[in-house]
Structure 1
């Protein structure tokens, strides 16, 4: 495996990984057509891999009546851009392009979410995410009222803050390891996938 994707040890072979990690990585490879570098970067510590992805999945896959999967990815892109995490901006920008069916949105958010073509509701969501992730802010009565005025429930507010929080962790780990985005991410959601 390419050692240039992390400053830390990488698995030398997938078949040497614990079964659950190997199965997860192969399932992602089957779905995406490649193995995202972050999976290999985190695999050198199986317990942390499991814990990170368990919390990631609990947040990102949780179904909400009002907060969409695309909006969660918007949070990831905006927070990751603020943190200067190229990997997460590019990888989650690709996911956002696919979920939102919008080839421009992720780039707009990565440059300046405040000028992106988004709704007031989404701008308020991102304002709060950055308030939590970048400004060490808290949820006070003013913020709660502002978010509820835009239709967010307390569960949604938790999700916004939790997604901002876990990607603060992810951004720091990926940047520390110097893990670059896979080349494949740059074209996802921009160019139709080749038929299998």
Structure 2
């Protein structure tokens, strides 16, 4: 995408306009920050998966429920890592746009991928993780007192619910707000430059 050409055309407009350089800066900063966060998340999940496999090998759980639980947790991690890798690919594709319209189309694709992450992927992740933890904990919970097992399951459930109902919505709202700001800003630029209607 020829940003210099876009900037020159934008500066020729007589109508009041937002700062195109600030818009480019906001978009670049968001892309960089989101990519770094996803990479760190992927690294953390890979280390977590390695730790889980190590625990499995070291302690050799006896019950099939424990083994199924570990498999479900690993599947949840794999699902999230694959989806996050796809999201990083979408962010990288933004720089490969050849035209102004393609540039915004790439941002729209990023938004669609993020929507998929926020709904389908996160839902499956939490379902698999919750079921996996519940099954994994059973072998050890049966050896505890009733109050101990109740406390263990209660704390685990509270942690999952806190992340689902508090952390997740706040993260989604913040991310969507920034994406909408970027896309709407570029839409206004394209409209004033007489570009084609955006796809999607």
Same fold (TM over 0.5): no
State the TM-score, normalizing by the size of structure 2.
0.28
Larger Rg: 2
